[in-house]
Amino acid sequence: MIHILSEQNSILNKFISEIRDINIQNDRLRFRRNIERIGEIFAYEISKELEYENKDVTTPLGISNMNILKDNIVLATVLRAGLPLHQGLLNYFDRAQNAFIGSFRKYHKDNSFEIKSGYLSSPDIEDKFLILSDPMLASGASMVLAHKDLTKDSCPKHTHIVTVIAAKEGVEYMQEHLPKGKFTIWIGALDKELTAKSYIVPGLGDAGDLAYGDKM
């Protein structure tokens, strides 16, 4: 299942237009906050597909019977670009456990590269809902590798992949390499072009640099 939220008119499109805008991007605080707000919108939409339990809530005047979200969620993100998006999801899923994955491009002499993982911190995700986020989904390789690392020793009930901007090639790659019927993809906007260096066009540039400054 693939959900592309920008296909419907909503406030989300304003936030996406601002993180793409080369003039507005200069304000790192605004860029991070817009990514965070997009994460909150994703959280609301994903919450409709999770598990709930019936509980009585005591008010000053009586008892209210409510359907309450179960505490069986793990939020995972790819460092460092994923941190604002992760925070937006965490603002809504505030009782969730959290996982963090470090991945990087290892370049070869011919200027080709492969995706490598270098850091993982995760709770047990067995039979839980895993929400794995990264603001940019280019080739899809880093997301598939992150999912592989996270599920090496345990199996989630279902995985929700969250990305603000995705390339068509990356979505197709995930569909080929992730367990069939065990994941849902949530996309802010889908771009059709991916360059030879795996940059999304029109995209928005390097989300990590825009959020936190240039890296060496």
pLDDT at 104: 63
74 found inside a domain: yes
Residue 179 per-residue DSSP state: P
75: in domain: yes
Q: Structural domain tally of the chain?
A: 1
Question: Mean pLDDT over residues 116-139, rounded?
Answer: 91
Give residue 115's pLDDT: 67
- What's the CA angle centered on 142, arms 139 and 148, to 5 degrees? 125
The percentage of residues in the chain with a pLDDT greater than 90, rounded to a whole number, is 80
Q: CA angle, corner 207, sides to 104 and 195, nearest 5?
A: 70
CA dist 29 → 19, 33, 64, 113, 204 (Å): 11, 6, 40, 31, 16
Q: Does any domain span residue 61?
A: no
pLDDT digits (tens, 9 = 90+) for 37-50: 999 999 999 999 99
In a domain, 137, yes or no: yes
Enclosing domain of residue 38:
2-51+69-212
What pLDDT is attached to residue 106?
Answer: 61
Q: What is the pLDDT of residues 135-178, one digit of tens each?
A: 999 999 889 999 999 998 899 999 999 999 999 999 999 999 99
Give the span between the Cα atoms of 37 and 84, in whole angstroms: 9
- Domain presence at residue 58: no
CATH of the domain at 169: 3.40.50.2020
Q: Indicate whether 111 belongs to any domain.
A: yes
- Any idea what DSSP says for residue 54? E
Least confident of 5-19, 42-56, 86-100, 194-208: 194-208
Question: Within a domain: residue 13?
Answer: yes
Q: Of residues 119 and 39, which shows the higher confidence score?
A: 39
> What would the DSSP string read from start to end of 105-173?
EEE-TTS-EEEEEEEEE----TTSEEEEE-SEESSSHHHHHHHHHHTSS---SEEEEEEEEEEHHHHHH
In a domain, residue 57? The reply is no
pLDDT exceeds cutoff 70 at 91: yes
> Rounded to whole angstroms, what are the CA distances from 23 to 102, 129, 196, 204?
30, 38, 26, 11
Evaluate if residue 108 carries a pLDDT over 60. Answer: no
pLDDT of residue 17: 97
Q: Which two tokens stand for residue 129?
A: 């809902």
pTM: 0.91
| Distance between CA atoms of residues 137 and 169, nearest Å | 9
Let me know the angle formed at the C-alpha of 36 by 34 and 40, rounded to the nearest 5 degrees.
115
Write the CB contacts of 61 (distance below 8 Å, at least 6 apart in sequence). none
